[in-house]
Amino acid sequence: MIRIFLLLLCAVTLGQAASGRLEVYFVDVEGGQATLFVAPSGESMLVDTGWPGSNNRDADRIVAVARKAGLKQIDYLVITHFHTDHVGGVPQLAAKFPIKNFVDHDESVEHGAQEDALFNAYKEARAKGNHIVVKPGDTIPVKGLKVQVLTAAGNEITKPLAGAGAPNPFCAGTKMRDTDPTENARSVGTLITYGKFRIIDLGDLTWNKEFDLMCPNNRVGTVDVYLTTHHGMNMSGPAAIVHALHPRVAIMNNGARKGGTPEAWQVVHSSPDIQDLWQVHYAVAGGKENNVEEQFIANPSEQPDSGNYLMLSADANANFTVTNSRTGFSKTYKR
């Protein structure tokens, strides 16, 4: 009986590994971030955990999606930076679901009563797992994926990735902003590659740091999917990065009243090779002119919403499908 059980378990595991697809879940944490990557190997990487409080709302949503994906633990939790909408949900999530490795840029540069309490709560949870500090040029060893760290702690890669490095024509005319001293500018930014498929996530990296990464030469190259930086806020996302990446699809992890600002939305919408923009929420500030059609929005009304998410499934040849959990509507993008 035991032998039969083990054979069945092995068959299920091999079946999962043989599926040959990367799955990415863009969880609705109401304008924060929680993006779950599930490699064909079965290993997982969660980027950020949303907000604290709200009766465990964000932790419960992440756990529900993780279980739907068949996970028993989070293998790598990447905290892009130490703001409450990204790191605040860690203690609640860790109490509900095992987290093996905690990945971050080490220490916060923001201090005060609230900032220190937030960071100390995270450190307490982090101490129960393995802590990995990353810098630009490092890789996060998710089995079956190539996860390259592009930015961390205010620094960026100094050498172009393989196949990148060409002059970036979109740098011209970009006006620099005031220096950002906050944790946003220190975001851990990653490029996730599965075969020929590439998706970029820069957390809340702000305008000048994105410019430094991509100008005067594009050190990253192009991507298939761009997760909008900083929830689609206009303090991030210049054309110098968005247009230079030439994404086929963009995902905006905005809230109803956070992110999705008209200026940032227009930059993405006008990107040279963009086919579609999907949104986690309808952006109230954008109006009809700066929101996509409802079928591409997971949560089209402001309140209340059911935490609908977007899900992406990609093969190694960079063919991928995006699905709206609210309606089941999906669209496939062929390479």
Residue 10 lies in a domain: no
| 159 domain residue, yes or no | yes
Q: Write down the pTM of the prediction.
A: 0.94
Q: Is residue 335 part of a domain?
A: no
3-state percent helix, strand, coil for the chain, nearest multiple of 5:
30, 25, 45
Supply the CATH number for residue 260's domain: 3.60.15.10
- The model's confidence at residue 304, banded by pLDDT at 50, 70 and 90, is confident
Q: How confident is the model at residue 328 (pLDDT cuts 50, 70, 90)?
A: very high
Judged against a pLDDT cut of 90, whether residue 306 lies above it is answered with: no
In a domain, 5, yes or no: no
Q: How many residues does the chain have?
A: 335
| pLDDT of res. 302 | 81
Share of residues in the chain with pLDDT > 90 (%): 92
Residue 78 has pLDDT above 90, yes or no: yes
Residue 1 in any domain: the answer is no
pLDDT at residue 32 is higher than 50: yes
Residue 281 falls inside a structural domain = yes
Cα gap 152→72, rounded to integer Å: 29
**pLDDT(14) > 90:** no
- pLDDT score of 80 more than 70: yes
pLDDT of residue 4: 40
Among 110, 75, 92, 113, smallest CA distance to 29 is for: 92
Q: Which domain holds residue 303?
A: 21-325
Quick check: 184 and 154 in contact, CB under 8 A? no
pLDDT at 19: 64
Residue among 273, 280, 210, 284 nearest 246 (CA): 273
The answer to whether residue 6 sits within a structural domain is no
Count the neighbouring beta carbons within 10 Å of the beta carbon of residue 279.
Answer: 28
Contact 34, 46 (CB under 8 A): yes
d(CA 46, CA 97): 12
Whether residue 130 lies inside any domain: the answer is yes
Q: What is the mean pLDDT of residues 21-31?
A: 97
Instruction: Give me the mean pLDDT over the 90-102 stretch.
Output: 98
Q: How many domains does the chain have?
A: 1
Asked if residue 197 lies in contact with residue 22, where contact means CB atoms within 8 angstroms, the answer is yes
